[in-house]
Amino acid sequence: MKYRKFGKTGWEISEIGFGAWAIGGNAWGIQKDRDSIQALHKALDLGINFIDTAQVYGNGHSEYLIGKVLKERKRKNRKWCNKNRDQNSSYRWLLATFTI
């Protein structure tokens, strides 16, 4: 996996991220949790350390699955990109590192 610095944060981010909209189900149809968890594990095994999610992805189900996988793996230094609406109903990006 190739990595790059993410803006001025100094974070080394994988050039490929994991987009987690589909694993939330809902808009993309029914997804099997087993398949979603397997896909997340494979992405992390390949060196992906950047996950894009939002509370609206399956009404939080995407975030639930991501949390479950990260807890199982007990690894550190993952980057999480989340979107949230502000009071003007426009999307705002929230970036955070997390340690489990």
Angle at CA of residue 65, ends 62 and 70, nearest 5°: 125
46-61: string of b/e by CB count within 10 Å (b at 16+)?
eebbbbbbbebbbeeb
Q: What predicted TM-score, i.e. pTM, was given to this entire model?
A: 0.76
Catalytically active residues are 57
Percentage of the residues of the chain whose pLDDT score is greater than 70? 74
pLDDT, tens digit (0-9, with 9 covering 90-100), for 44-83: 999 988 888 877 777 888 888 988 998 888 766 566 666 5
73 is written with which tokens? 């793996």
Query: What are the DSSP calls for 37-61, one per residue?
Result: HHHHHHHHHTT--EEEEETTTTTTH
52 is written with which tokens? 């894009």
